Structures are given as structure tokens and as C-alpha cells.
Amino acid sequence: MSKFYTLIVMIALLHSSTSGVALSAPPVDVDVQVLAELQFPVPSGAAESKYLGLSGTGSFKLGQIAAETVIVEVFSMYCPICQAAAPAVNEFYDFIEKNPALKGKIKLVGIGIGNTPFEVDVYRKKYNVRFPLVPDDDFRVEKGFAEQVRTPTFVVLKKGKDGKLEAVYTQKGEFKSRDDLLKKLPGQPAAK
Amino acid sequence: MDSRKLYLITFLVAVVSCSAAMAEIKLEPRDTRIYNPGELKPVDSAVKVKAGDIAPDFSLPTVAGGKVSLGQFKGKKNVVLSFVPAAWTPVCSQQWPGYNIAKDYFEKNHAVLIGISVDNIPSLFAWTSTMGKLWFPVASDFWPHGAVAEKYGVLRSDGATERALFVIDKQGVLRYADVHDINKMPRLEELVKELEKLPK
């Protein structure tokens, strides 16, 4: 192969490797074992509790949510990026609920980091959030992350046959459309 | 090497450079622009006003243009003053976006909100443009530096202000002052509770 074509191939390889790195969202270093041990208040709304598959009052752990895949959105009522993303996240939730292949298998829960129940409720009402949101006013969820959590952060947790959770995808920052996350879910059909 | 080959190489190098640069921009989370000063002394000033006092009047330029004064609301609206320490810093960069989605709670209690910072107008313009469209005026207490903050006793020794909330009734009387730990977010429900105590 001439030197010229060798150079072309090298440039093309460089391009593909650069693109590959660039198009992957920066990973979030999450400790699932720590996240799985955190307890959150069972939502007071009957519909929300039913959606999560929880009964009674008190607290719950993420592993108790009745779903094969649990998507956790760490958000804050005070976060303008979360506010901007709220309609798209709602749309993402609606898409799952309307899709028989996904409904019941994938469930969403929002954790309001640094937010009181009152503040979570302000956010829920403002954006008509239809999936359960729970408060985390003392920032406990931060213990599950290696660095300060940037909101919104999405963690896709897959439940194994032994009931253990595994983080299969993480995403932080802007969320512009439902497809942002939907097409990243392992083993799920991409959004149409 | 002939000129066609040279153009092709130049083009490919440009594509590689552009895609790398664009990817960097795309992946930069917006809030990495926030400067974190670390943990600060919780309060670094002595508040000069207390509940029952007539709140000091002021007139300050706003990001939207024009001026805002406390006096313009006398007899018409309750007023909440929200002093935040500095643009582009943690907590401050979320406090006003939080109030931005809580407009109903202010309106329900016949209150307006005025955000105040000692940053100048251009800085405040750039900073608040990251918060979405704010429904309340953002005023600059930049020059004479921190003069209004000084009247209320919330100017810190480094020239920033405290994270402070003042609730003033329609008669211009101060009803509530919260000079908060600068490192922490004042709870929204505490403010709403104070607004609900105001005479209707």
C-alpha cells in the first residue's frame, strides 16, 4: 500500500475512534450496592405506590420496585436543566406506559436530591410529572456516586434473576427527547 | 503528492478536528461553568434590620432594563427580597430557578419577588439567561458596590452578599428576615409559610 493510502486509512481510523468516544455520554461512576441500600419514603399517592408495586407506608428500597428495569432520575426542583428536561422525561414515561412491550417492565422513579417533600411536590405539580418522585432532602443519594451528582442524572438499573440491581447505563446533563434514553436501554426496541 | 491528494488529506483532517471539537461542546455539561468556592463561613455580616422595622428603600438597575424600587410596591404588593452572594456559584445558580417555578405561591400571597446580587448587569444577564425566562426582576447592587446590601446589613467582608431573604409587607414593614447559611439552600416551604402569615 502506498504511503498516501496508509495515511488516508490512519486518518479514517482516527476519525472513527474520535467519533466513538465523542458520541458516548460521559459515564457516571455509580455504586449500585450503596444506592440499593438507601431507603426512600413510600409515595403517599395510591397510584404511585401501585405503579412501583409497593404496599403500605414507611420506606422502600430501589430493588423492591416491581420491574425488570428501573430508571432513576436524580433531579432537583431547583435545577433549571431538570426543569427544561421535564416535558421530555414525561414523554418518555408516557411512551413506556403506552407501549405493551415496555409497560410494567420498565419503571421510572425520580429522586429529588436536596429537596424536601414540599419542594418535590412543587416540581411535580409544575410539570405534571406522572411517575413517582421521592424526596432526598439530606442528599443521601450522593453517597452512591463517586463525584458530586450533576442533575439530572439518569441511572438505568437492571434487576438480575437473583434480584440484585446492576447499573447498565448512566447519563447526566441535558435530556432533550425521549429517544435520548430509550434507544440506550439494553434489550429494548428503539423508539419509533 | 499531487494537489487532489493534498485536498483530500486536508479535508479529512478538518473533519476529524471538527467532529472532535463539536463533540467536546456537545458533551460539556452546562453546569461545569459554575465556580465552586468551597465551603464558606456561614454568615459574615451583622444584619441591621429586624421584624417590625421600616425596610430601607432602594432603587436599583435591573437586567431587563429600567430600575426597580421597594417604594414602587408600597400599598400594592408584599415584597420578597432575595439577596444571593454571587453569580456563577453553587446554590445561587439554583435558588432563583426554584423560585421561578414557584410563582403561584408568590401570587397567591400578593407578593412580588426581587432578586438582588452585587454582580454587574452584564454578568447577571449572562448568568440569568441560563435559568430560563425569569418572571421576577433581577437587580444589580454593583455600584456603589453593595450599597443596598450594606443598608440591610448583609454585605460580607469579601464584597459578596449573604444568602438572605427579607419579607416586606404592603406598608413597607419588614416581617421576616432570614440571613441563611451561605452554603445552604433556604427551604421554599419556610418562605411560603412566612408569606401566608402576611395580612391579606
Q: Give tens-digit pLDDT for B25-79.
A: 333 344 567 788 888 999 999 999 999 999 999 999 999 999 999 999 999 999 9
Hey, is the C-beta of B185 within 8 angstroms of any chain A C-beta? Answer: yes
Q: Can you tell me the mean pLDDT for A71-82? A: 95
Let me know: does B164 contact B152? Beta carbons within 8 Å. yes
ipTM of the complex: 0.80
Instruction: Mutation target for A interface from B93, B185, B193, B196: give the one with most A CBs within 10 A.
Output: B185
Instruction: Give A100's contacts (C-beta < 8 A, 6+ positions apart).
Output: none
pLDDT of residue A11 exceeding 50: no
Q: What is the pLDDT along chain B (200 residues), one digit of tens a residue?
A: 565 665 555 544 444 443 433 333 333 344 567 788 888 999 999 999 999 999 999 999 999 999 999 999 999 999 999 999 999 887 878 899 999 999 999 999 999 999 999 999 999 999 999 998 999 999 999 999 999 999 999 999 999 999 999 999 999 999 999 999 999 999 999 999 999 999 87
What backbone torsions phi and psi does residue A34 show, to the nearest 5 degrees?
A: -70, -45
Q: Cell for A175?
A: 435530556
- Tens of pLDDT, residues A78-120: 999 999 999 999 999 999 999 999 999 999 999 999 999 999 9
Q: Which of B30, B130, B185 sits opposite A78 (nearest CB)?
A: B185
Helix pair A80-98, B92-100: axis angle to 10 deg: 60
For residue B79, give the nearest of B50, B102, B101, B57 by alpha carbon: B57
Q: B12: nearest CA in chain A?
A: A11
Cα A174 to Cα A57, A178, B28: the distances in Å are: 34, 12, 10
Instruction: Give A130's contacts (C-beta < 8 A, 6+ positions apart).
Output: A90, A93, A94
Q: B134: nearest CA in chain A?
A: A80
Q: Which of A7, A126, A174 sits opposite B101 (nearest CB)?
A: A126
pLDDT recorded at residue A179 = 81
From the CB of residue A44, how many other CB atoms can be counted at a distance below 10 Å?
A: 10
Give me the half-sphere count of Cα atoms (radius 13 Å) on the Cβ side of residue A37. Answer: 7
| pTM summary value | 0.82
Instruction: Mutation target for B interface from A3, A5, A122: give the one with most B CBs within 10 A.
Output: A122
Q: B5: nearest CA in chain A?
A: A4
Q: Cell for A141?
A: 443519594
Indicate the SS3 state at residue A125: helix
Longest dimension (CA), chain A: 73
Q: Which of B1, B94, B188 sits opposite A4 (nearest CB)?
A: B1
Closest CA–CA distance from residue B20 to any residue of chain A (Å): 6
Q: Cβ of B9 and A7 within 8 Å?
A: yes
Catalytic annotation, residues of B: 92
Let me know: does B184 contact B124? Beta carbons within 8 Å. no
